[in-house]
Structure 1
């Protein structure tokens, strides 16, 4: 929630408001303090002029009388010796830092509060002190500090709370959008992004994505229709051509004619296999069947697939081994998954030098089935490309195959919402199907 734009914007606005409040409190304090200082200095100058008018002979008595008349205790008076180290009369002084004819603040001392004083030297050398209590300023500073602290303690937690509350609705909508995006990414092109009808930026993004998915669905549907039509319409006439070629083959005499006919029928077999694979991929991509899904032990299914290819591996001089595993339950269509495993094992046997190893393991709630060979492998930059239809590496074009085996595997894995990962086996290639464990799906 802390990463949402609404939460961040609320925190920014709350921070700006708190900063404005603190700044206003500081400005009020500075202006008020300046006014209090100016007021204090005016009082000090007036009192200093009045005390300066007293005759020197009665100055000590007048200073003592001024102290007695100061009922509020805000004004203070003092008379010091010429060196400023001893008090002759009054209730303030002496001070260590004494500046003549310039008002200044002095800190609190024993028996004396902090105050602003004005010291003046008389003709006879003695020094008169006029002091004004600055507790008003101290109290103001305390109030301002409390206001600032209250602002921080109230506004900041309140901002976090308000931000969290404001973010809940947009965050819930974003999660709905994320779920819809994941389903669209998994191939469910009939899913649309939810539109709340508020006309805000989230609705605008959702409507834009919906338009994009509509266009993408139309394009894919057109491409698929063309591909399916070509594969379906050409398969029958090609099969007839093959049948006719076989019929002519029986009528022709001579080894050269027979060899040519064998090459022609072999080429037609490859074309028919590719059309069959295309139709199989189209069937898998078009279906979302889950009626045959059941809890199966993937380890046992791997052993079954290995058994089906044991003879082929032995004929090719390849050692096909299955590593023992503990029960690895997944929810899947066993026939489709067996088809995917068979394609991967067939590829591994085709390219392996001497060994193909099948392993099944359960890792963090996922079942990993790996088919590893010790063949030439696939460079990292081509591992995405080999999953595309008809893609064949240049050095593999002379090998038998349609170039669609991994495309069929990808379609089956996608239907199950599993993952297919190709990695370097050092040497060779390791193809891994990663599925959520059955207990994890139920939970």
Structure 2
């Protein structure tokens, strides 16, 4: 038992160092972006480099968060939030990447969903991962939405890509799903999203996620339901 604990601690420390190194790389990319010509900044190779670095950085943050959750060192700080401002911040965070990939993201907030109660760091981590995944498959359009449904705040990300495969729609988020070595899929992002959603509770209501296809853009639709 001690050896297992030591190994998990060392692994978490290593992942933390990798995350910090990638963070420094992303900061350096920002500096490079500001010092090169517009043609280089907008080139596909440069944008791909930035996208992949951000994606791996996000994966490492997810791993660390799940480790802290397993060690009972992660808790949700639920506070009242202005939903439209929060979603605008998510848009701004991805704006330069979206421009480089020529993908348009629109934010839609229904009038009755202007306020919500959630942990901004946890929800931001979920949406960042989902948006990054949607960017990979979108053709040219993304929607970031907020609405209410029977007392729930529903935040959703839609794209105009091919939609989720049936295998993803059937994931049970139990953590027992096998790794698909043919695709490299571990469903880490979906498992992370479900666990972060579940940390939001009100009475007997517990946050959850839902996947479907269709929506306004005809592609994949990720929904985060918060009580």
With the length of structure 2 as denominator, give the TM-score of the two structures.
0.64
**Aligned residue number for residue 12 of structure 2:** 232
Corresponding residue to 2:163 among 348, 360, 377? 377
Mapped to 1, the partners of 2:69 and 2:149 lie a distance apart of: 28
SS of the counterpart of 2:110?
coil
CA contact (8 A) 2:15 2:64 kept: no
Q: 5 Å matches for 1:175-194?
A: none
Deviation per CA, 1:333-352: give whole Å up to 9, x if none: 11221221111111111211
**Aligned residue number for residue 419 of structure 1:** 208
Deviation per CA, 1:58-91: give whole Å up to 9, x if none: xxxxxxxxxxxxxxxxxxxxxxxxxxxxxxxxxx
Deviation per CA, 1:369-414: give whole Å up to 9, x if none: 110011122223432439558956845x5xxx98633333222112
User: CA 1:299 to 1:386, structure 2 compared with 1: closer, same or farther past 3 Å?
Assistant: farther
Q: Does 1:305 align with 2:94?
A: no
CA contact (8 A) 1:296 1:329 kept: yes
**Aligned residue number for residue 45 of structure 2:** none
More strand by percentage: 2
Q: 5 Å matches for 1:149-298?
A: 225=5, 228-229=8-9, 231-232=11-12, 235=15, 277-285=62-70, 286-287=72-73, 289-290=75-76, 292-298=77-83
Corresponding residue to 1:347 among 112, 133, 137? 133
CA contact (8 A) 1:390 1:404 kept: no
- Structure with more relative contact order (C-alpha pairs < 8 Å, separation 6 or more): 2
**Aligned residue number for residue 52 of structure 2:** none
CA contact (8 A) 1:273 1:402 kept: no
How big is the shift at 1:303? 1.8
CA contact (8 A) 1:302 1:341 kept: no
Q: Does 1:361 align with 2:147?
A: yes
- Number of residues paired by the alignment? 181
Return 5+ residue gaps in structure 2 as ranges: 20-54, 201-205
SS of the counterpart of 1:353?
coil
CA root-mean-square deviation: 3.7
Return 5+ residue gaps in structure 1 as ranges: 1-220, 240-269, 437-443
Mapped to 2, the partners of 1:288 and 1:275 lie a distance apart of: 16
Mapped to 2, the partners of 1:369 and 1:300 lie a distance apart of: 13
Deviation per CA, 1:235-254: give whole Å up to 9, x if none: 58989xxxxxxxxxxxxxxx
Mapped to 2, the partners of 1:312 and 1:374 lie a distance apart of: 17
CA contact (8 A) 2:65 2:74 kept: no
SS of the counterpart of 1:385?
coil
User: CA 1:277 to 1:324, structure 2 compared with 1: closer, same or farther past 3 Å?
Assistant: closer
Mapped to 2, the partners of 1:421 and 1:372 lie a distance apart of: 12
**Aligned residue number for residue 146 of structure 1:** none
How big is the shift at 1:229? 3.6
Mapped to 2, the partners of 1:237 and 1:296 lie a distance apart of: 32
How big is the shift at 1:321? 0.8
How big is the shift at 1:280? 2.2
Mapped to 2, the partners of 1:360 and 1:304 lie a distance apart of: 14
User: CA 1:284 to 1:425, structure 2 compared with 1: closer, same or farther past 3 Å?
Assistant: farther
User: CA 1:349 to 1:390, structure 2 compared with 1: closer, same or farther past 3 Å?
Assistant: farther
How big is the shift at 1:289? 2.4
SS of the counterpart of 2:199?
helix
User: CA 1:330 to 1:350, structure 2 compared with 1: closer, same or farther past 3 Å?
Assistant: same
CA contact (8 A) 1:375 1:428 kept: yes
**Aligned residue number for residue 404 of structure 1:** 188
Mapped to 1, the partners of 2:91 and 2:56 lie a distance apart of: 28
How big is the shift at 1:366? 1.4
CA contact (8 A) 2:78 2:117 kept: yes
SS of the counterpart of 2:106?
strand
User: CA 1:386 to 1:321, structure 2 compared with 1: closer, same or farther past 3 Å?
Assistant: farther
